[in-house]
Amino acid sequence: MSPSTIRLAENDPRRRFRGIVGVLFAIALSGSGVLRAQDDGSLIVRPGPPALDDFETDTDGDGTPDGWYNLRDAILIPEGGVVGPTVLRFEADQPSRPARISRGFGVDGRQTEALILGLWVRRIGDRLVPGERIGEEPALLIDLLDENLRSTSRGLLGPWDTLPEGRWVRWVTRVPVPSATRDAIMTVGLLGGTGTLEIDGLTIAQEPVGGQSTTNVIVNNGFELGGLTPDHWIVEGNARRVHSGDRSDAAIELSTTGDLALAPIGLPVRGLDRLAISVKARGTGLRGAGGAQAVVFFLGDDGRPLPGAASGARAVRWSGSFPWRVDRSVISVPAAASRAVLQLEKVDRQGTLWVDEVEVLGEGGLGGARTWAPYHVDGGGDSWPPYPVAEAIEPGSALDFSGELETPAGTHGFVTAEGGRLRFENGTPARFFGVSLMPPLPFTSTDQIEAIADRLARSGVNLVNLCDLDAPFGPGGSLVDDAANNTRSLDPLALADFDRAISAFKTRGIYVAITLQSQARFRSDDEIADGRALPPGGGPAAAFDPQIRERTRQLAEALLTRINPETGLALRDDPVLAWVTLAGELSLFNLIEDPDALPPSQADALRERSRTDRRAGRPFWQVTEAAQWSGLAADLRSLGLRVPIAGSAHFRREPEFAAAQRAEGLDLIDDRLFWQPPRFAAPELRSFIRRPSDELSPLANAKVARDRAYVVGQYASYTEGAWALPFEGPDLLLVSALARSAGWDALVRRAISRLPDPWGAAASGTGGGQDVFVLPEIVNGNPQVFGLFPHASALLLRKNPDADSSGLPGTWDRRIGRFTIDAPDTIGVAGVLQGAAASRDGLSIRSEDAVGAVVVSTVSGKPIAEADRFLITTVARVQPTALQWVDHWKREVADPGRPPLRVEPIRASITWNRDAPASVFALDNAGRRVAEIKGVSSSNGLRFVLDRRDGYLHWELAVGSP
């Protein structure tokens, strides 16, 4: 088996980060009186969940199944069910109608660690279409509540907008239960969407606390968890989850060439002698020489196949037709192997293979099969000290980098694009270090937006990217008026908050970039063909439909030309505006991944266009999309817009797509870089610093043209639903330095959300109450990232006249994964530390820890040789309390944990070797001095040991009198 035969399926990264994360559902569950407090205020104890609910029983004949309430736009149908004859059918032909039913039951989180929710679902007739607001999608939602009826978490089964017509699908998911949970409210239905949905056979199983040990190292080995595809497996081609298996509800089907299903072996295989493999399968019409096979691939720590014959071994080969049977084999584990992946593969188009159960046992020595507990791989950080939350950064402290910003924003005039670079009108170069604000944050309260603007400015952030402003979150939560029957009218409530936000940012020297269109769900008065059936923002149709262009022009005119009463200026006339992007991740090239994204009338319109053009395929898409963006840019210029304009902000990399973004009238490339770590690498290697090659710059350069300015409008790692990559803070330092050396005009980190508040109070989605949407890349939920903002800002924004020949302020050793920072005003080490040091002008810093970041920047922006105040930050990993992983790959979270966040202790030292006296102070996370650190004289100077184990990240070195 040669390495070239391995097909470690990777989900295309272009399919990710589609604007708002899909789990941002928001359903207002109407009060029904089911949850009532007793006279003494305590919660009425309710029975636990039913084992099975097939909707057969309606004792009082009121049309509502027993045990359920709040029935809306649903009826019981006495035939066609899966479990029993009766099914529950939801029907709605108008968006945002509450077609649903609810049920409450007791769940004690002290005894139950997870609920396994299962439901048979079927679409009848035309496709299910989401409603007009975010979260209005057919699904089952479950709100978990504590004894005070405060949310502890939220789970989702679905959404079901992609259900095939007429086929029952068994949809099953695992929902973690926080220990504070005492009760649950469950709601299922169309939930604001339209179409016809049937459900049957709801099951709710409770997993007891502690889990269950097993010797099988395959998670979801029977494919019981999942929807159209199985959970914890990676599928490619037409591989799908089907019903039923061999006396079970589910199996996986491989029916054509290239169909793949991969399962990472849940334990590291280093130290194992062999893998004992058992696969239950059924085949029909498979090619005689072996039309399907199961192969085990062995990998090193870096996730790459081992060289030569050790890379893989065939476990099973299937041919012909056969009933359900079990095939077994034993495979030796190469000594150099670290990890392994089991791959089920269809070799050609002949026949079909079904697989029901897979068992892989890891055996070593005389000890038999290795045991472990899936969903119980400990994050390992519960012994670390908690992160002490700071409401704000103390003005004038060493943590206050607001002096980097010039106030107000626009001091140098409007931002322009000249010679392929951003400049201000007076000729001053313009460079930005920013963050995205996730809606509905721009429409939050005055106090919160002022606090955010203040925190960002003191962190050295000089730009906010306002994306997804048209995302329909309801009244006051979107620029689009929720009461209007179109998507071009502005919401007066949201506008008032938006105006105050613009003023707050401008006052502090923070510029604003906006994206006009990305997440709108069209309404009837928009007069867009098949508007409701289009993806958010119009999807591919946004790049050619003239009605969508006109709708966007009208929205832009309403937004850009109105006077902001807080600033006295229209946005088009306000130099706080840095640039305008026409669309967010909307492109004809999205048809590559989703060829059926356009409804019939829009698909016909695109075909009609192609008949008048000699080009076809991607060249046709290029010229069509370029014409749309050029026309829309001209529309904005006619409105008096002066700042640079970008086409579609996207993570795409096709040359034709890149060419469309350089169309006439576009003077800016707005890129999105979502770095994906190697899927099968060991967790400790999932850091950009530890990659053997620079994967960001080539991606970025694919879009850069010398006559266009270039900004990265959103940058983040991709974490596949995990909490966060282990070392995203150090990665940010390196990417900031790379952005500066590569000449990017802006680097924007994704994203700030409304919660958690205050920053660092919890990982996003684990704080309870309203904070129940788990979003791993939220900056304000990860102190490892926002704690390094001042240093990243210094690396990107400050001048560095003596950078080395590569332009990088320091050296990047890809082999060992270390970035040694050496700039006139910033030194440090990020990535693998282990005794590494950095020094300049009598100041040096060193750490003996394994991995993290130790970095020093001058507070004033002066060179180290001239400065008298320095900010020192030491940070390693940060993670939630009680974080649990699905398996030892640590790609998927089994339980996102709870507050507080915990900070891995890190020890470093700083040495001062100059004539002037110096003092070092420990800082709290607001920047206030909490203790003075005594130095020890040595032959190298005055040495200070930085060894705090109470969750603080920062220190201050002051020259002269303290």
Four-residue CA torsion sign, 698, 700, 702, 706:
negative
* Cα–Cα dist 684/693, whole Å: 17
Q: How confident is the model at residue 24 (pLDDT cuts 50, 70, 90)?
A: very low
Sheet holding 100-106, edge to edge: 69-72, 100-106, 183-189, 139-145, 151-157
To the nearest 10°, report the CA torsion of 136, 137, 141, 146. -30
Contact status, residue 732 vs residue 793, Cβ threshold 8 Å: no
Cα 23-29-31 angle, rounded to 5 deg: 160
The mean per-residue pLDDT over the stretch 639-646 comes to 98
Average pLDDT, the chain: 91
* Cα–Cα dist 629/1, whole Å: 49
* Cα–Cα dist 950/962, whole Å: 23
The mean per-residue pLDDT over the stretch 443-461 comes to 96
Residue 38 is which amino acid? Q
pLDDT tens per residue across span 850-889: 899 999 999 999 999 999 999 999 999 999 999 999 999 9
Q: How confident is the model at residue 658 (pLDDT cuts 50, 70, 90)?
A: very high
* Cα–Cα dist 558/561, whole Å: 6
Look at residue 353 and give its three-state secondary structure.
strand
Angle between helices 789-797 and 728-742 (to 10 degrees): 10
Q: How confident is the model at residue 700 (pLDDT cuts 50, 70, 90)?
A: low
Q: What are the start-end ranges of the H helices in 538-646?
A: 546-561, 600-611, 617-638
pLDDT tens per residue across span 247-264: 999 999 999 999 999 999
Task: Give the pLDDT score at 805.
Answer: 42
Please state whether the peptide bond connecting residue 130 to the residue before it is cis, i.e. omega within 30 degrees of 0.
Answer: no
Query: Residues near 147 by Cβ (< 8 Å), separated by ≥ 6?
Result: 42, 43, 180, 182
* Cα–Cα dist 690/676, whole Å: 13
Is residue 818 pLDDT above 90, yes or no?
yes
Look at residue 638 and give its three-state secondary structure.
helix
Task: Give the pLDDT score at 17.
Answer: 35
Please, how many CA atoms are within 13 Å of residue 272, restricted to the half-sphere of its CB? 27
Task: Give the pLDDT score at 684.
Answer: 85
**What pairs with residue 195 in β-bridges?**
92
Is residue 6 pLDDT above 50, yes or no?
no
Q: Which one has a higher pLDDT value, 198 or 30?
A: 198
Contact status, residue 371 vs residue 362, Cβ threshold 8 Å: no
pLDDT tens per residue across span 101-139: 999 999 999 999 999 999 999 999 999 999 999 889 999
Task: Give the pLDDT score at 310.
Answer: 80
Q: 402: which 2 tokens? A: 């607001």
Q: H or E stretch including 475?
A: none
CA distances from 45 to 105, 153, 176 (A): 9, 19, 21
Of 554, 556, 559, give the one whose Cα is nearest residue 526. 554
Number of H helices, E strands in the chain: 10, 51
Contact status, residue 739 vs residue 686, Cβ threshold 8 Å: no
* Cα–Cα dist 329/334, whole Å: 16
* Cα–Cα dist 606/628, whole Å: 13
Task: Give the pLDDT score at 2.
Answer: 37
pTM of the entire predicted model: 0.93
* Cα–Cα dist 182/42, whole Å: 12
Q: 357: which 2 tokens? A: 């159960």
